[in-house]
Amino acid sequence: MPKVLISDKLSPAAVQIFKDRGIETDVKTGLAPDELKAIIGQYDGLAIRSNTKVTTEILAAATNLKVVGRAGIGVDNVDVPAATARGIVVMNTPFGNSITTAEHAIAMMFALAREIPEANASTHAGKWEKNRFMGVELTGKVLGIVGCGNIGAIVADRAQGLRMRVIAYDPFLSVERAKELNVEKVELDELFPRADFITLHTPLTDATRNIIDAKAMAKMKKGVRIINCARGGLVVEEDLLAALESGQVAGAALDVFKTEPAKENALFGNPKVVCTPHLGASTSEAQENVALQVAEQMADYLLTGAVTNALNIPSVSAEDAPKLRPYMTLANQIGSFAGQLTETGIKDVKIEYLGHVASLNTKPLTAMVLEGLLKPMNEAVNMVNAPVVAKERNIKVSEVKSESEGDYHTLVRLTVTTDKRERSVAGTLFGGNKARVVEIKGISIEAELGQNMLYVTNQDKPGFIGALGSLLGANGVNIATFHLGRSEAGGDAILLTQVDQPVSNDLLEKVRALPQVVQAKFLTFA
Ligand SMILES: NC(=O)c1ccc[n+]([C@@H]2O[C@H](COP(=O)([O-])OP(=O)(O)OC[C@H]3O[C@@H](n4cnc5c(N)ncnc54)[C@H](O)[C@@H]3O)[C@@H](O)[C@H]2O)c1
Ligand SMILES: O=C(O)[C@H](O)COP(=O)(O)O
């Protein structure tokens, strides 16, 4: 039974889902990195929010971990490349808290416009400072959105309801989408001087880190108000403080900080700054959504192999997973067949999906072919990291798809080009789910791949089969199945036989010494 650790505060709905799906679940929040490192090796899944830092060190200790599930959007607390390298799927819930976070940004904008937090504190203190607080209206003001994805788009919609004019900077926002959202797509340098309010909704990347610094603020309209409910590293906090003190920026509302938990910060105590402790996603609705989603997604992956919302592996829907499963076996077997025969550097991998299989989501199948192909060279390869490993080795991978059927109603053919030769192997499904190899080097054959296989290429000459059978028998190796193919009478021939015992290197040498043999190899399949 898979075992999952929940290491951040998640709605109890998540535990219930894991339990209902037969997954053992521990909830241990607030663990120090060393404490997490000490126990992570026991778990197949780790469910987190933004508090747990899934670093390379944690991942190195996570010897059984298969999936990290982020109940929320940002995965900047997870070392995704390190997880990928270890074959661990990282998934998030990209929409579960978007509305809630957009609403928080709007609430922050109102709080700034009407100085609600300061007015609230003053009134609680019995001061009745009616003359101290003079707000600004939102109606007719220009809202500049930096990052107009899921949350930015909802903010745009709500702001338009408040009769604001919305402009947006997002290099990946298409003109069509901008039209649909009724926002004016602008460059950053145009947004800065035009906006009365600026709200940030980008992920934290190398391109967005420090996007709001002294230079940027100098370009803004004097008296601008800035809202950040995305990530702390987007704003240079010292520069913001200086701009608030000079009056260039009239106010800032921050839900996120460069260092979190933010217990000390130079901006704290400044009356022009409204702060919340990373509460953007904190509504009961959003937390219920993300907890349910992440638990379902993780359970699906651990129990069925279905992949949803993963950042480092192609998605496989729960509906597709059972359809793909027999193809996954086939893809892995033909990859493994070629991989076990390959002894020199691979340059090029071509995977042809012909007939029925071409109508399916073939990305996971390609990952499985690559896993099979590369595993003989690197034990740590799995379908998550195989495409990355292939890229690191400069292996060019291409897919060819055609739904028209040939001799088989469905066929996967792998062609591997190495420094020395080109090698191809193809397989199909018999009876809808039984993987069979049906072609090797363009020669037809029909074989099921089992645990112990002997693969021989030879000249098609009389006497060979008898000699091989006698040799195996004399060495205590029992033949279970026997499959032959040849290009033409007297030409190149192949033999694939399943045997009940592994074939030792000594025996292989004897097989190779038979007069007609060109190549003999012992292959093994899971
Ligand atoms: N405060 C919170 O509690 C909270 C809650 C949810 C999400 N978030 C954060 O909000 C951010 C946005 O979330 P989302 O769901 O809208 O993500 P999203 O991926 O849907 O949207 C992000 C947008 O940023 C754009 N973008 C990327 N690079 C950019 C750049 N260099 N300049 C301008 N735009 C750029 C992308 O094109 C995309 O449209 C994320 O960082 C997420 O972690 C915070
Ligand atoms: O990226 C997110 O989803 C938000 O930052 C929410 O983070 P949280 O789950 O820690 O509240």
Asked whether 196 lines ligand 1 (CB < 6 A), one says: no
Query: Cα 61 vs. chain centroid, distance in angstroms?
Result: 20
Question: From the CA of 97, how far away is ligand 2's center (Å)?
Answer: 8
- Tell the residue nearest (CA) to atom 9 of ligand 1: 230
- Which pair of structure tokens corresponds to residue 120? 């609230």
Calpha distance 259→53 (Å, rounded):
13
Contacts of 388 by beta carbon, 8 Å cutoff, 6+ apart = 81, 84, 85
Among 49, 50, 73, 188, which residue has the most ligand 1 atoms within 8 Å of its CB, making it the best to mutate?
73
| Mean pLDDT across 106-129 | 98
Ligand having the closest approach to the CA of 101: 1
In this structure, the residue with its CA closest to atom 1 of ligand 1 is 280
* Reported confidence tier of residue 482, pLDDT bands at 50, 70, 90: very high
Q: What is the pLDDT of residue 184?
A: 98
**Cα 366 to ligand 1 centre (Å):** 30
**What confidence category does residue 401 fall into, taking pLDDT thresholds of 50, 70 and 90?**
very high
The yes-or-no answer on residue 231 being catalytic is yes
Q: Which ligand is nearest to the CA of 205?
A: 1
Q: What is the DSSP string of 263-308?
A: S--TTTT-TTEEE-SS-TT-SHHHHHHHHHHHHHHHHHHHHH--B-
Angle, alpha carbons 424-429-433 (nearest 5°)? 140
Question: How is domain 98-275 classified at the architecture level of CATH?
Answer: 3-Layer(aba) Sandwich (3.40)
Mean pLDDT of 241-266: 97
pLDDT (average), residues 127-137: 97
Of 104, 278, 413, 436, which one is the catalytic site residue? 278
Query: pLDDT value at position 173?
Result: 85
Q: For 313-356, what is each residue's pLDDT tens digit?
A: 888 877 788 889 899 999 999 999 999 998 788 999 999 999 99
Which phi and psi (to 5°) does residue 40 adopt?
-65, -25
| Among protein residues, the one whose CA lies closest to atom 2 of ligand 2 | 73
Q: How far is the CA of 208 from the centre of ligand 1 (A)?
A: 10
C-alpha angle 199-145-101 in degrees, rounded to nearest 5: 55
What is the fold of 3-95+285-304?
Answer: Rossmann fold (3.40.50)
Q: How far is the CA of 202 from the centre of ligand 1 (A)?
A: 3
- Of 21-25, 152-156, 321-325, 505-509, the one with minimum mean pLDDT is 321-325
Residue nearest to atom 18 of ligand 1 (CA): 149
Q: Which CATH architecture has domain 450-526?
A: 2-Layer Sandwich (3.30)
Q: 62 has which bridge partners? A: none
Residue pLDDT, tens place only, 26-74? 999 999 999 999 999 999 999 999 999 999 999 999 999 999 999 999 9
Cα of first residue to Cα of last residue in the chain, in angstroms, is 21
Residue 97 beta carbon below 6 angstroms from any ligand 1 atom: yes
Which CATH superfamily does the domain covering 314-449 fall into? D-3-phosphoglycerate dehydrogenase; domain 3 (3.30.1330.90)
pLDDT at residue 206, rounded to an integer = 84
Q: Do 482 and 497 contact (CB within 8 A), yes or no?
A: yes
Mean pLDDT for all residues in the chain? 94
Check pocket membership of 229 for ligand 1, CB cut-off 6 A.
yes
pLDDT at res. 319: 79
Q: What is the number of the ligand closest to the CA of 234?
A: 1
Residues 294, 7: contact at Cβ < 8 Å?
A: no
Q: Is 278 a catalytic residue?
A: yes
Looking from the CA of residue 74, the nearest atom of ligand 1 is 43
| Residue range 403-442, pLDDT digits in tens | 988 889 999 999 999 988 899 999 999 988 899 999 999 9
Q: Is the CB of 186 under 6 A from ligand 1?
A: no
The whole-number pLDDT of residue 174 equals 87
Ligand 2 pocket, 74 CB below 6 A?
yes
Are 143 and 164 in contact, with CB atoms under 8 Å apart? yes
pLDDT at 99: 97
Q: Does 228 have pLDDT greater than 90?
A: yes
Q: What is the pLDDT of residue 102?
A: 98
- What value does the mean pLDDT take over residues 108-116? 98
* Residue 45 pLDDT: 98
- Looking at ligand 2, which residue's alpha carbon is closest to its atom 10? 50
Q: Which amino acid is at 208?
A: T
- Rounded Cα distance between 131 and 122, Å, is 12
For residue 301, what pLDDT band results from cuts at 50, 70 and 90?
very high
Ligand 2 pocket, residue 73 CB under 6 Å: yes
Same fold, 3-95+285-304 and 98-275: yes
Angle at 412 between CA 411 and CA 415, to 5 degrees: 135
Residue-range domain boundaries for the chain:
3-95+285-304, 98-275, 314-449, 450-526
Residue 3 and residue 24 in contact, taking contact as beta carbons nearer than 8 Å: yes
Nearest CA to ligand 1 atom 8: 230
ipTM, 2 decimals?
0.99
Is residue 25 very low, low, confident or very high in pLDDT (cuts 50, 70, 90)?
Answer: very high
Q: Is 443 helix (H, G, I), strand (E, B) or coil?
A: strand
pTM: 0.80
